[in-house]
Amino acid sequence: MSQSQFFKNARVYRLTSGAADLFAAHDLDEHLAKFRFIGGTNLEMQSLGWAPPYEGHDSLIRRVGDAVLMVLRTSKKLLPTSVVNEVAKARAAEIEEQQGYKAGRKQMKEIKERVTDELLPKAFSVSRDTRVLFDLARGFLVIDAASSAKADEVIGWLSKTFDQFPLENLYVATSPAQAMTGWLAEDEAPANFSIDQDTELRASGESGAAIRYVKHSIDAEDVGRHIQSGKQCTRLAMTWADRISFVLDEGLNIKRIAPLDVLKEGEGSGIDKNDDERRDSDLALFAGEFGKLMAELIAALGGEKDLSGMGSQPTA
């Protein structure tokens, strides 16, 4: 399969009851159109909205079985503060010469606001697409984002698009840092996983001293000494079932996701398929394989934590 069809990163959340019914709605495309990306005006620093998941299509949603794909597009104007300040400073100097005294704080603020309004129409825009997978079979929401800020952007827009979107944070019984530290200390990965040559151990407290192994064999004795000194594993490269390699961090975020050769063997088998069929096939394959990976990873972390009665609030 094409590696580009795999998400590069994954921030995973738990879909609660009602998600399947939401995506079964016949007027969903019509509803999403109200929140479609249309681009901002010349005076907007940022604009966002849903964009078609497949190029060449108008639909804002693509469903293959229980896998639903959506894309949030964000466009931002590139207008550095340093440029605004430089132009505002020159403008303030002109005003000072005219009025005979320096501009005060309030006047400088007004000058900067006017300069920003003048420069925005001339500023370049950059767009970014963030893919969002709804695994309705397993109840996962997966956001292809490396940073929490990008994930929060998606969740915020979901909340705006769907009132009371059925979503919660995903909690596990054993913290990833504790589990990863244990796997390294015992030099043994959980069933169906293997440990690769990339890890980070970090001390708690103010020092935050860290040891990183990058493309380097991990020596069990050396790691053991760091663990005994109080460091915990906060980042660990792993492989699941000889099919997918990834990096797990202390926040249960999955990074650097990559399919291995066993998943690429069938890449040429779809040569007679059209683009849509190939993309649908790849979407179904990613959803299925990643869903299995997450299910086994959650099990290796002691299963999901039972938060019943603890007042868990949905994320969106």
What tokens appear for 127 in the block?
């767009």
Q: Which amino acid is at 258?
A: A
The predicted pLDDT at position 224 comes to 77
Secondary structure (DSSP) of 259-279: E-HHHHTTGGGGTTS-HHHHH
Whole-angstrom distance between the N-terminal and C-terminal Cα of the chain?
A: 33
Q: pTM of this prediction?
A: 0.83
**34-73 pLDDT tens trace:** 999 987 666 677 889 999 999 889 999 999 999 999 999 9
Q: Are 11 and 33 in contact (CB under 8 A)?
A: no
What tokens appear for 183 in the block?
């796997």
Q: Which amino acid is at 82?
A: S
φ and ψ at residue 67, rounded to 5 degrees? -105, 125
pLDDT tens digits for the chain (316 residues)?
Answer: 444 568 999 999 999 888 888 887 767 888 999 999 987 666 677 889 999 999 889 999 999 999 999 999 998 887 788 888 888 888 888 888 888 888 888 988 888 888 878 777 777 778 899 999 999 999 999 999 999 999 999 999 999 999 878 899 999 999 999 999 999 988 899 999 999 988 999 888 666 788 888 877 776 777 778 888 889 999 999 999 999 999 999 999 999 999 998 776 655 454 456 789 999 999 999 999 999 999 999 999 999 987 654 444 445 5
Closest to 60 in 3D by CA, of 92, 22, 99, 32:
32
- Rounded Cα distance, 37 and 281, in Å: 26
Q: What residues have CB less than 8 Å from 316, skipping those under 6 apart?
A: 155, 156, 158, 159, 162, 165, 167
**221-258 pLDDT tens trace:** 777 788 888 899 999 999 999 999 999 999 999 999 99
Tokens 């309030």 belong to residue: 106
What tokens appear for 119 in the block?
């420069």
- Rounded Cα distance, 15 and 142, in Å: 10
